[in-house]
Amino acid sequence: MNFKKLAALGLSAALGLSLLAGCAGSGSGGTAATPTPAPVESAPQASAPASDPGDGSFTTVTEGVLTMATNAAFPPYEYYEGDQIAGIDIELTEAIAAKLGLTAKIEDMEFDSIIPAIQQGKADLGLAGMTVTDERLEAVNFTVSYTTGVQVIIVTEDSAITSSDDLFAEGASNTIGVQRNTTGDLYTTSDLEEAGLATIDRYSRGADAVQALLTGKVDCVVIDNEPAKSFVAANEGLKILDTEYITEDYAAAMSKENEALYKAVDAALQELIADGTVKSIIDRYITAD
Ligand code: ARG
């Protein structure tokens, strides 16, 4: 028994999105060798927005502003640098906003408040290293996927847990820390807690789950690979174990009620993928391993 089974749950949605991503990215290239930093402040462009679906009729929550909801505790996608929110998803939002002639505004909130904020018309989109899942697709639209992630396990260096199989061993009874309502939570709940093999402790931030690991309150943390690397780099005595979870597609979540804005943002993101901008932003935060 291993993580393959649970991973299959999200496969259909993920597959559809990866195919789309593959198409969008197929013409990309070129610019990665000398990445130009994205503008720090998103300067609305004077020229006609290239990604406008045609009639330019989209509306946003606040006129002239692209309001993005995130949970800024997920490095390198979104995190605090002093009192500023930085990261891949922030730069992507600024690049999308610039293409559409809008100014980006970032709203930090709990991870599981992002989709409700979009549904309630408080945010135009959510970018939060958010995985496309079938359940979320019932609530929101997702744009083309701009990158991928995979769930990993963080343990202490001296942990008795040495591989994902240990979590599934007969009679296992680990306490697992996760960020509430993330895919790490959903997968471990359905595969381990419901099978009576683990207790899941849900935290509002991934970093809090990692603190619980450092103080011995949980036996491991299941979280996306890039934040995991960043938490392990920031804390002594932790290491990462691989799982066999499928690769998850990250995309921007948007309202089902605002088709014009959805099309404009999706087209802008596809262009940013195709011209290498997305890759150059990601490459500045994530070094290939
Ligand atoms: N990829 C996972 C999910 O979508 C975790 C995302 C958590 N993101 C964050 N900004 N805290 O469920």
Q: Which atom of ligand 1 is nearest to the CA of 128?
A: 10
Is the pLDDT reported for residue 279 higher than 50?
Answer: yes
How far is it, in rounded angstroms, from Cα 59 to Cα 148?
29
Q: Among 68, 74, 106, which is best to mutate for testing ligand 1, by the most ligand atoms less than 8 A from CB?
A: 74
Q: Is the pLDDT of residue 12 over 80?
A: no
Predicted confidence band of residue 55 (pLDDT cuts 50, 70, 90): low
Mutate to test the pocket of ligand 1, among 183, 186, 204, 285 (most ligand atoms within 8 A of CB): 183
Q: Structure tokens of 105?
A: 């505004």
Cβ of 187 closer than 6 Å to ligand 1, yes or no, is no
Q: Is 79 in the pocket of ligand 1 (CB under 6 A)?
A: no
Q: What rounded mean pLDDT belongs to the chain?
A: 86
- Counting atoms of ligand 1 from 1, which one is nearest the CA of 77? 10
Angle, helices 11-25/259-274, rounded to nearest 10 degrees: 60
Taking the CA of residue 78 as reference, the ligand 1 atom at the shortest distance is 10
Assess whether the C-beta atom of 132 lies below 6 angstroms from ligand 1.
no
Separation of alpha carbons 198 and 188, rounded Å? 8
Instruction: Answer for the pair 24, 66: CB distance below 8 angstroms, yes or no.
Output: no
Q: Is 10 close to ligand 1, i.e. is its CB under 6 Å away?
A: no
pTM flag (> 0.75): yes
Is the C-beta atom of 111 inside 6 A of ligand 1?
yes
Residue nearest to atom 5 of ligand 1 (CA): 182
Note whether 21 and 144 are within 8 A (CB).
yes
> Pick the residue with more confidence: 135 or 6?
135
One DSSP character per residue, 6-28 reads HHHTTHHHHHHHHHHHHHHHTT-
**Is residue 101 very low, low, confident or very high in pLDDT (cuts 50, 70, 90)?**
very high
Ligand 1 mutation pick, 9, 68, 111, max ligand atoms within 8 A of CB: 111
Query: Which of 108, 109, 147, 182 best tests ligand 1's pocket when mutated (most atoms within 8 Å of CB)?
Result: 182
Q: Is 128 in the pocket of ligand 1 (CB under 6 A)?
A: yes
Task: Kindly report, residue by residue over 218-260, the tens digit of the pLDDT.
Answer: 999 999 999 999 999 999 999 999 998 889 999 999 999 999 9
Q: Please write the tens of the pLDDT for every residue from 67-96.
A: 999 999 999 999 999 999 999 999 999 999
Between strands 248-254 and 125-126, the pairing is antiparallel
The two beta strands, 151-156 and 238-241, are antiparallel
- Give mean pLDDT, residues 17-45: 36
Ligand 1 nearest-atom number relative to CA 183: 12
* Interval between CA 18 and ligand 1 midpoint (Å): 18
What pLDDT is stored for residue 230 in this prediction? Answer: 97
